[in-house]
Amino acid sequence: MRFTPGELECMKILWEFGEQKPSEIQERMSRSLKNPAVRSYLSILVEKGYVSRRKVGKAYYYKAKTHRDRAFRGMMRELVATFCGGSTRRLMAFLIKNENLSAAELEELARAAEEDPEDDKRPKRGVR
């Protein structure tokens, strides 16, 4: 699970806005790019298996096949392996220190996690 900067930007847009055609993605790009540039990224993503596409009318519509949180976990794991000896708990300890979180705040975060108020469309634990 490895993305180049251009690929990652496409994935971000696909994750955020769902199925789209190249011209729509192009408009949402932070940089100003020609249409074929965007299609080049998308083709590679399809080739790598992270994105699927289907023909609707004249155009191809692209959709993220890899789930956002799955990609996130993969990239986190890589980072944690590099910097925290592979231990997510060490990462947590680092973040707690770095954010200077109090026990009360942690408790609140834990509650927030429990209630799952995020806008992630991730299925509940265990469900698939």
Partner DNA sequence: CGCCATGTGTAGGATATTCTGCACATGGCC
Partner DNA sequence: GGCCATGTGCAGAATATCCTACACATGGCG
| Residues within the interface to DNA (CB under 7 A) | 2, 4-7, 21-23, 31-37, 39-41, 44, 57-60
Residues 1-20 binding a second copy (CB under 8 A) are: 2, 5, 8, 12
The half-sphere exposure of 108 on its side-chain side, counting CA atoms within 13 A, is 5
Residue 14 near residue 64 (C-beta atoms within 8 A) = yes
Q: N- to C-terminal Cα distance for the chain?
A: 21
Given the complex with a second copy, which of 46 and 101 has the nearer CB atom? 101
Given the complex with a second copy, which of 16 and 27 has the nearer CB atom? 16
Residue that is written with structure tokens 């026990």 in the block: 103
Q: Which of 101, 121, 127, 128 binds a second copy (CB under 8 A)?
A: 101
